[in-house]
Every structure is written in C-alpha cells, then in structure tokens.
C-alpha cells in the first residue's frame, strides 16, 4: 500500500468523468487520496483503502462538493492600458469605426503594450490570475496578440514563462501574432502574415515559448487564405492550432482549423452545420465565449443544438481582453453559459473542466480520476448546479494545485 500524502473525506465528488453514468460523474459520500501531486484513489468513503491515519494529513470536507480545478481555456491577460474611455464613447453613440479611425480599439492596446516592460505586464497579468485563482481556477491559457511585431510578441511570451514560473496557476501559452494588423502594416496584411510565418513563428518554436498558435479569422481580422498560411507554418513547426472563428461572420475558419486537426474553434456564433460536422470529425472543441457576446450586446447565438446533435465537446472561457470582454471571471461565464446560451449547468461545468482541458490538448486534468493531477476545488454548495446558478457568492472553501493547498 503506498501511503497517501493527503486524504479528503466526507466529500461529494463531481468527478466530471464521462465514463460514470451519474450526472457530473458524481460520487456522493466519497473520499479521495493524493500521492505526489496526483490522484491515487477516489470512490465511496465506505470503500476507502486502509492508510496510516496518524501519519497522513486528513481533511474532512464535511459534506462539501469537490470538482476538478477550473480551467480558463481562452484569455488575453497579457496587455497594458485599458479601453474604459472607448466604453464611455460608445455609450455616447460613437461607433467602433470612428473609434478605430481615432486610433482606438486594438491599436490603442498595442501601443500601450509595446511601451510596457516585462515587469509591468507581469504585474498586470498576475493581478488578473489572482482574481481567477480566487474563483477556483487552476489552469489558464494566456495568448499573446497585443505586441504585433517580433520583439513585442516574444516579450509577451517571455512574460507568460515568468508567470508560469512564479504563479501557482498552471499557464499555457498561445501565440496569437495574427490577432490584428499592426499600424505599420496598414493595407499590407499579406506582408504582415509573411512576418508572422517566416520570422515570428520560427522564433516561437525555437524558444519553445508556446504550445499552440491562434489566428483571428474574421472580416475585420485575417482572411481564410491568410489563416491557412499561419496554420500551415505552425503545423510544420510542430505546433497545434486553434482559431477565433465565426465570431462576427462565417469565414469558414472553423472548417480550416478542423482540416488541421486543430484543438478548438472559439466564439463560433456564426457557425453552420458543415462547420459543426467538420469539428465533430476532427475532434475539435467548441470554445464558447459568452462574455464577448454579452459585452458587445450580440444577438447571434452559437448553434448549440447542432453542437449537441453532432456531439462536439463544448468548452466555456472568459476571453478576458480590454476591448470585447473586460470581464475577469470564469464563474460569471458559467452563469452566462446558462442564462445567455441556454446551456445546462452540467454542460457549463464540463465547459470549464474536462472539455476545457481538451481545448488545450491536455489529458492530465479536468477530471477527478486516478492518475490525473490533484488540481481541485472544494465548494460550499449543496449541488454542482449551484456553480452556474449563483455568482459573486464566496463559496470556494479550498483549492489544491498538484495536491498543494493554494487557497483557503
């Protein structure tokens, strides 16, 4: 018998394990054992194997609910400045186009981010990660995309590396050099994509600073052909791809990411059935972003019935960014997934656990199962549905990352 490092007893487990027939994969009146940062046993407390209770720390959950640590699989936390004055202008009737013509929008965040040093960007992102940590988040995907030249995109990736080394949350870095056209390449999108493919991506791969590559494929972003070029270059360098796709129109970005066996298609409000089928066939995850939908007051809902019909895994994420989703809360997204997108509470919880892990290509987390990372959150709730039902309630009791108590 390998003695555990920690045992949690008197606990209800929302395992999120799809192989269990119960809703949420739940095990009530359960227990869980941790060894060297991984789950070594879980099940009914009545079936718990013997262990030396004198030598082993035991935490009685007193009937609280344990879930996998939450995963925010789509964030833009690396930036400086804010766009609060634009928010004010838009509410006074100034259009996006007018703001962009005044040099606002993404361009203003790019200017502020280029001027910011590593420390400023680190401190900004650390504060945002701390907000997510307090909500039970244990893994975060952090994209670049506000540097838009080689030096500054690499700067952002270096900040991600520092965050991964110094913050308890596990950081997964995505290169999003093809987020927007930098001002110095106005009207020269193909020339900028040359830089992304021929200069930035080889450096990103050589320095091993990102595990995935993303593109904003949209009529106000990059075209289908330009997106293909980036995906082709990324794949040749051994990097997985994902895509901001069908957010404002249907540019067939989803079918393109599926063609490259990509990790996820994100936003997808304008996705059609051929795109859903392509995702189903490729195992590509749908990442739904209700925060941007809400903040932009969009009306086109993502095709939930088609995603369910074709059994496409649905994840949910904050999309935290200064322009279209300045909402640094994954718990709010759980609630919005239900209230705005009409997902069920179980679907939204899958969306920030097992399906979010899949959207990042991670198979070692997102489910309470033997051999998985001991990343979990203990909640003062009477049922897992409460996690999407209520918001703003301080219901997180404890948080463990790799079996280490991180928040209590």
Ligand X SMILES: O=C(O)CC[C@@H]1NC(=O)NC1=O
Residue ranges of the annotated binding site for Fe(3+) are 74, 76, 244, 319
Alpha-carbon span 271 to 277, nearest angstrom: 10
Q: Give phi and psi for 130, each to the nearest 5.
A: -60, -35
Residue 244 binds ligand X, judged by CB under 6 A: yes
Query: Which CB atom, from 138 or from 227, has the smaller least distance to ligand X?
Result: 227
Query: Which CB atom, from 332 or from 401, has the smaller least distance to Fe ion?
Result: 332
Residue 337 interacting partner from ligand X, Fe ion, none (CB closer than 5 to 8 Å by kind): none
Residue 322 binds ligand X, judged by CB under 6 A: yes
Site for ligand X in 202-241 (CB under 6 A): 216
Alpha-carbon span 113 to 256, nearest angstrom: 30
Contact window for ligand X (CB under 6 A) among 40-48, 223-231, 275-283, 321-329? 321-329
Contact window for ligand X (CB under 6 A) among 101-109, 149-157, 270-278, 358-366? 101-109
Classify each residue of 304-333 as buried b or exposed e, where b means 16 or more C-beta atoms within 10 Å of its C-beta.
bebbeebebbbbbbbbbbbbbbbbbbbbbb
Mask 267-306, x = binds Fe ion (CB under 5 A)? Answer: ----------------------------------------
In 315-381, which ranges are continuous DSSP H helix?
330-339, 345-351, 354-359
Site for ligand X in 288-307 (CB under 6 A): 292
In sequence order, which residues have a C-beta less than 8 Å from that of residue 268 and are 6 or more positions away? Answer: 245, 246, 247, 254, 275, 286, 287, 288, 302, 303
> What is the DSSP-derived secondary structure letter of residue 189?
H
Number of alpha carbons in the 13 Å side-chain half-sphere of residue 336: 25
Contact window for ligand X (CB under 6 A) among 33-41, 60-68, 257-265, 317-325? 317-325
Question: Binding site membership for Zn(2+): which residues?
Answer: 74, 76, 244, 319
Query: Which CB atom, from 313 or from 322, has the smaller least distance to ligand X?
Result: 322
Question: Binding site membership for 4-imidazolone-5-propanoate: which residues?
Answer: 83, 146, 179, 247, 324
Closest CA to 160 of 148, 171, 168: 171
Q: In the complex, what is the shortest distance from the CB of residue 78 to Fe ion, in angstroms, rounded to a whole number?
A: 12
Closest CA to 270 of 288, 245, 292, 290: 245
Classify each residue of 29-39 as buried b or exposed e, where b means 16 or more C-beta atoms within 10 Å of its C-beta.
ebbbbbbeebb
Q: In the complex, what is the shortest distance from the CB of residue 179 to ligand X, in angstroms, rounded to a whole number?
A: 6
Alpha-carbon span 374 to 66, nearest angstrom: 11
Query: Which CB atom, from 170 or from 246, has the smaller least distance to ligand X?
Result: 246
Alpha-carbon span 102 to 119, nearest angstrom: 29
Strand-strand pairing, 6-14 and 26-35 = antiparallel
Residue 253 binds ligand X, judged by CB under 6 A: no
Query: Which CB atom, from 107 or from 377, has the smaller least distance to Fe ion?
Result: 107
Mask 315-334, x = binds Fe ion (CB under 5 A)? Answer: ----x---------------
Contact window for ligand X (CB under 6 A) among 63-71, 105-113, 352-360, 375-383? 105-113
- Residues found near ligand X in the complex (CB under 6 A): 105-106, 109, 179, 216, 244, 247, 292, 321-324
């Amino acid at each position: 018998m390998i003695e555990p490092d920690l045992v949690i007893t008197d606990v209800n487990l929302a395992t999120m394990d799809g192989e269990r027939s119960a809703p949420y994969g739940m095990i009530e009146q359960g227990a869980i054992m941790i060894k060297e940062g991984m789950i070594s046993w879980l099940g009914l407390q009545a079936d718990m194997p013997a262990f030396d209770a004198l030598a082993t720390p035991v935490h009685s959950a007193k009937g609280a609910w344990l879930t996998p640590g939450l995963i925010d699989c789509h964030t833009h936390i690396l930036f400086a400045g804010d766009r609060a004055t634009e928010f004010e202008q838009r509410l006074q009737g100034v259009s996006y186009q007018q703001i962009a013509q005044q040099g606002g929008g993404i361009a203003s965040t790019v200017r502020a981010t280029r001027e910011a040093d590593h420390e400023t960007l680190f401190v900004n992102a650390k504060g945002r990660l701390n907000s997510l940590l307090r909500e039970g988040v244990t893994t975060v995907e952090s994209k670049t995309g506000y540097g838009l030249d080689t030096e500054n995109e690499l700067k952002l990736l270096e900040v991600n590396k520092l965050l991964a080394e110094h913050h308890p949350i596990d950081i997964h870095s995505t290169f999003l050099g093809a987020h927007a056209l930098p001002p110095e390449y106005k009207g020269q999108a193909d020339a900028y994509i040359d830089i992304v493919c021929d200069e930035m991506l080889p450096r990103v791969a050589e320095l091993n600073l990102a595990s995935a590559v993303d593109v904003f494929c949209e009529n106000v972003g990059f075209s289908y052909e330009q997106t293909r070029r980036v995906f082709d270059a990324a794949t040749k360098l051994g990097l997985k791809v994902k895509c901001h796709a069908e957010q404002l129109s249907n540019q067939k970005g989803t079918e393109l990411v599926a063609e490259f066996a990509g990790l996820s298609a994100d936003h997808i409000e304008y996705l059609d059935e051929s795109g859903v089928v392509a995702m189903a066939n490729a195992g590509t995850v749908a990442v739904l972003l209700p925060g941007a939908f809400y903040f932009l007051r969009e009306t086109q809902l993502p095709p939930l019935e088609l995603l369910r019909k074709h059994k496409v895994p649905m994840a949910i994420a904050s999309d935290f960014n200064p322009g279209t989703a300045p909402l640094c809360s994954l718990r709010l997204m759980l609630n919005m997934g239900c209230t705005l997108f009409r997902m069920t509470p179980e679907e939204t919880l899958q969306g920030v656990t097992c399906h979010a892990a899949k959207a990042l290509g991670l198979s070692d987390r997102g489910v309470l199962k033997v051999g998985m990372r001991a990343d979990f959150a203990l909640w003062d709730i009477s049922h897992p549905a409460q996690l999407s039902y209520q918001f703003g309630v301080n219901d997180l009791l404890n948080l463990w990352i790799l079996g280490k108590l991180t928040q209590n």
